[in-house]
A = this chain, B = another copy of it.
Amino acid sequence: MHDSHETRARLLDSAEKLFDRYGFTATGMDRLTTAAGLSSRTLYKHVGSKNRLMAAVLDARDRRFMRSLRVASVDGLFDALARWFESEEARGCLFLRSWGETGGEVPEVAEAMTRHKQRLAERIDEIVEAEIGRRDEALAEEVLILFEGATHAAAYRGETAIPAARRAARRLIEGRRASG
């Protein structure tokens, strides 16, 4: 048989590009099968439904994104985001977009979004702790908001949004480190 794992990877990869570029609902199954080089029969054997395909795409994207965020400082965090947008176009967070497009009513998608945002928040908690030597949930939430804001502002302002967010985050961190 053909390598099932490789086929699935190719499917998730091409589907992610299409969903990101054209949106979830506007991307039809024929475009997905063509891009993956699969018959619709095989595609359905692999993922079961369009909703489950979207959820699988989001889970794979979460792993890839989180892998790129293995950094130990807020500068590293925003540098990682800048690097992400060197290979991906900035169109806002795909998790939030998919969740919004489906009205929050597709459980697989809603759960993938929640899981991803939970992991992101935890990662930022750790980075903030590494920076100032103790946990600071309030500061971590502020950095998370800058991260979320940079992700979305980059979609319409270009990548100057990312150094601006990085600058602001650094200032907030320095303020807590000194007077903490």
- Asked if B93 contacts A152 (CB within 8 A), the reply is yes
The answer for the CA separation of A141 and B103 in the assembled complex, in Å, is 30
Partner of A156, one of B102, B114, B172: B114
> Across the interface, do A26 and B103 meet the contact criterion of CB distance under 8 Å?
yes
Given A92-B96, A100-B91, A145 contacting B149 (CB threshold 8 A): yes
Contact yes or no, A145 B142, CB < 8 A:
no
**A97 beta carbon closer than 8 Å to chain B:** yes
Residues of B within 8 A of A91 (CB): 100, 104
In terms of DSSP, what is the predominant structure of the interface of chain A? helix
Interface size class of A (residues with CB under 8 A): 35 or more
Task: State the CA gap A100–B149 with chains docked (Å).
Answer: 16
Pairwise interchain contact A25-B101, C-beta atoms closer than 8 A: yes
A residues 93-147 in Cβ contact with B at 8 Å: 93, 96-97, 99-104, 113-114, 117, 121, 138, 141-142, 144-147
A150 to chain B: which residues have CB within 8 Å? 145, 149
- CB nearest to A138 among chain B residues: B164
Residues of B within 8 A of A165 (CB): 142, 145
The 7 closest A-B pairs by CB, nearest first: A149-B149, A145-B149, A25-B25, A142-B168, A148-B149, A23-B101, A22-B103
4 extra A-B contacts, CB within 8 A, seeds A145-B150, A149-B150, A168-B172: A97-B97, A138-B164, A145-B146, A145-B165
Chain A residues at the B interface, C-beta cutoff of 8 Å:
21-23, 25-26, 91-93, 96-97, 99-104, 113-114, 117, 121, 138, 141-142, 144-153, 155-157, 160-161, 164-165, 167-168, 171-172, 175
